[in-house]
């Protein structure tokens, strides 16, 4: 009997050790490493570390000897197994590669950042997938003030893409399940109703606002809920987050890539920031900067938006590995102070996308988007606490599992097709579905804010009210 209990205790110890396998990823100085790419080849599974440098491994799908790779631009790729990670206190230490600054003498062609970007465009169709693929993933949508979340929605998604030789309009996105959906926003009903009237009745801005002031009292709660849902959904879909064809080249009538009329090249200037060298690869980090004078990167705003960012490019084949793009209000414009007063920031948006290589083609695996919101921008400052004055949204998409040459993909001739968008709906919670589903791990700060938000309405309560 004692032997039985000893074996049982041993089994329980092993299970508890692997039931919640949370890793910490740091550099040699002990600093947390965000956005480290974790890849499990046997499962074709992609994970990513949060800003605390943490990630949870799906141990129920792994064996002790399963190989797991950790990679980050500028650091050596680290390959290990689940059992080795357990022996190392669940900590991964990443080691830097050597970095060559732009002052180093390079080949003439590679020293010119514009030429590198041109080569990216010329090799675009060789580096991105030309055949259909499907990918499943996780999406987290949040709206927050300085101190707390006001809106949270999480969903499992599936994307069917016919290949990069087709335009983004041919992509279809399916929302499979929702995990959390909490809404405690303070919204400007006049602003949202005026936007609704502009869309549905094609009113001018002035007329729609005037009508909203008159009519807002006559809408029922159910009508308001539907107006807000449509408003949220329209804004979300208008972001084109699933359009992964970044800096796509234009072709002429003969099908050849035309560099002269490419907006990305013409509307931005570029600077070679650094060259990162490893044993088997060389990567160029190129800064994205405004032109002089500023170009109209967002036509409706003229030259009021200035672009900044970077692109990491593989020097061997000119494939894009990662891109970050930020739009900032032009400080020379008169309305910059008004914009900052309304939004609490000079930044209009921040966008990031990362790609992974599968069978010599680059597939997207992580997308993030940040921007200020206007939901409560026109509410009187007396109605708002100082820390609750500004709303921001952040959307993160982790595309974990990719199926190559999927026969599920059909070419859709219409606009980008988003099916069953339940992100802003109240839906039944399916705990069995989420039991083994790969999700983005929240940071410690985010986890606390989500917990505070759930105190206002538990997960069970919100779904019971459907």
Give me the CATH number covering residue 61: 2.60.40.1120
Both tokens assigned to 238: 């208008």
- The answer to whether 247 and 122 have CB atoms below 8 angstroms apart is no
Residues ≥6 apart with Cβ < 8 Å to 143: 149, 150, 151, 152, 185, 373, 375, 391, 392, 393
Predicted pLDDT of residue 275: 87
Domain count, the chain: 2
Is 47 among the domain residues?
Answer: yes
Q: Any idea which residue has 């502009």 for tokens?
A: 198
Least confident range of 260-264, 347-351, 407-411: 407-411
Angle at Cα 281 formed by Cα 280 and Cα 284, nearest 5°?
165
431 vs 366, higher pLDDT: 366
Q: Is residue 170 domain-shared with residue 245, that is, in the same domain?
A: yes
* Domain that residue 403 falls in: 127-464
17 and 154 in a single domain? The answer is no
Task: Assess whether 405 and 325 both reside in one domain.
Answer: yes
Q: Provide the total of helices (H) and of strands (E) in the chain, helices listed first.
A: 13, 21
pLDDT, residue 204, reads 84
pLDDT above 60: residue 381: no
pLDDT band at 365 (very low <50, low <70, confident <90, very high): very high
**Which of 235-241's residues contact partners 24+ apart within 8 Å by CB, and which partners?**
236/141, 236/395, 236/421, 236/423, 236/424, 237/418, 237/421, 239/369, 239/395, 240/168, 240/416, 241/367, 241/369, 241/395, 241/397
| pLDDT of 297 strictly over 50 | yes
User: Pick from 76, 96, 116: which residue ends a domain?
Assistant: 96
Confidence of residue 378 (pLDDT cuts 50, 70, 90): low
Same domain, 87 and 134: no
Q: Is residue 110 part of a domain?
A: no
- Last residue of a domain, which of 81, 96, 111? 96
Same domain, 333 and 407: yes
Exposed e or buried b for every residue in 257-286, given b needs 16+ CB within 10 A? eebeebebbeebebebbbbbeeeeebbbbb
CB 374 within 8 A of CB 342: yes
Residue 323 is predicted with a pLDDT of 96
Task: Check whether residue 315 and residue 251 sit in a common domain.
Answer: yes
Contact 177, 154 (CB under 8 A): no
In a domain, 122, yes or no: no
Does residue 17 have a pLDDT over 50?
Answer: no
412 falls within a domain: yes
| Residues β-bridged to residue 312 | 285, 322
One domain for residues 178 and 76? no
CA distance 20 to 14: 11
Distances (CA, A) of 103 to 118, 269, 331: 21, 19, 31
Residue 248 pLDDT level (bands cut at 50, 70, 90):
confident
**CB–CB of 272/280 below 8 Å?**
no
Calculate mean pLDDT across residues 196-210. Answer: 84
Say if 113 falls within a structural domain. no
Query: Which candidate, 443, 462, 463, 457, places its Cα nearest to that of 51?
Result: 443
Q: What mean pLDDT is reported for the chain?
A: 82
Domain-embedded: residue 109: no
Question: Please, are residues 29 and 93 in contact by the beta-carbon 8 Å criterion?
Answer: no
102-108, long-range: CB within 8 Å, 24+ apart, which pairs?
Answer: 102/271, 102/272, 102/273, 102/274, 102/275, 104/275, 106/275
| Paired tokens of 2 | 């004692």
- What per-residue confidence (pLDDT) applies to 424? 86
pLDDT of residue 379: 55
> How far is residue 383's CA from residue 186's CA, in Å, rounded to a whole number?
10
- Residue 437 sits at φ, ψ, to 5 deg, of -85, 140
Q: Identify whether residues 258 and 384 lie together within a single domain.
A: yes
Task: Dig out the tokens for 381 from the structure.
Answer: 């400052």
Shared-domain flag, residues 64 and 184: no
416: tokens are: 């980008």
- The pLDDT assigned to 382 comes to 43
Q: Do both 91 and 136 map to the same domain?
A: no
The pLDDT, as a whole number, for residue 139 is: 95
Q: Which two tokens stand for residue 256?
A: 């050849």
Q: Does residue 115 sit within a domain? A: no
Of 28-37, 78-87, 332-341, 402-411, give the range with the top mean pLDDT: 28-37
30 domain-assigned: yes
Residues 210 and 261 in one domain: yes
Specify whether 208 is located in the same domain as 303: yes
């Amino acid at each position: 009997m004692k032997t039985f209990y000893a074996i049982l205790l041993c089994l329980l110890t092993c299970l508890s050790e692997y039931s919640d396998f949370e890793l910490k990823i740091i550099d040699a100085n002990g600093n947390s490493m965000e956005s480290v790419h974790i890849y499990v080849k046997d499962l074709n599974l992609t994970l990513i570390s949060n800003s605390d440098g943490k990630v949870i491994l799906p141990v129920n799908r792994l064996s002790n000897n399963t190989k797991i790779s950790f990679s980050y631009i500028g650091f050596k790729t680290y390959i290990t197994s689940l059992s080795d990670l357990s022996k190392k206190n669940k900590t991964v230490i990443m080691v830097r590669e050597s970095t060559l600054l732009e002052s180093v003498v390079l080949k003439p062609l590679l020293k010119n950042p514009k030429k590198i970007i041109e080569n990216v465009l010329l090799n675009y169709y060789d580096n991105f997938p030309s055949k259909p693929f499907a990918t499943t993933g996780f999406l987290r949508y949040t709206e927050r003030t300085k101190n707390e979340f006001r809106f949270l929605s999480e969903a499992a998604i599936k994307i069917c893409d016919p290949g990069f030789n087709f335009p983004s309009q041919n992509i279809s996105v399916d929302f499979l399940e929702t995990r959390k959906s909490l809404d405690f926003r303070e919204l400007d009903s006049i602003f949202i109703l005026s936007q609704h009237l502009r869309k549905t009745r094609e009113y001018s801005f002035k007329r729609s606002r005037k009508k909203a002031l008159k009519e807002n009292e006559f809408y029922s709660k159910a009508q308001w809920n539907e107006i807000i849902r449509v408003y949220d959904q329209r804004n979300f879909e208008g972001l084109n987050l699933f359009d992964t064809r970044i800096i796509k080249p234009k072709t002429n009538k003969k099908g050849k890539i035309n560099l002269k009329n490419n907006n990305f090249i013409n509307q931005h200037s570029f600077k070679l920031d650094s060259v990162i060298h490893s044993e088997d690869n060389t990567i160029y980090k190129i800064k994205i900067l405004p032109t002089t004078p500023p170009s109209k990167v967002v036509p409706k705003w003229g030259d009021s938006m200035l672009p900044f960012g970077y692109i990491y490019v593989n020097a061997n084949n000119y494939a894009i590995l990662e891109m970050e793009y930020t739009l900032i209000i032009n400080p020379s414009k008169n309305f910059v102070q008004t914009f900052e007063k309304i939004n609490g920031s000079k930044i209009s948006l921040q966008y990031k996308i990362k790609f992974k290589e599968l069978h010599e083609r680059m597939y997207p695996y992580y997308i993030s988007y940040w921007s200020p919101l206007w939901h409560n921008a026109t509410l009187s400052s007396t109605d708002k606490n100082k820390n609750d004055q500004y709303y921001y949204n952040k959307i993160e998409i982790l595309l974990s599992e990719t199926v190559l040459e999927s026969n599920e993909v059909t070419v859709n001739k219409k606009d980008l097709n988003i099916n069953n968008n339940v992100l802003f709906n109240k839906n039944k919670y399916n705990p069995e579905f989420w039991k083994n589903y790969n999700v983005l791990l929240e940071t410690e700060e985010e986890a606390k804010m989500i917990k505070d938000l759930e105190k206002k309405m538990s997960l069970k309560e919100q779904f019971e009210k459907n």
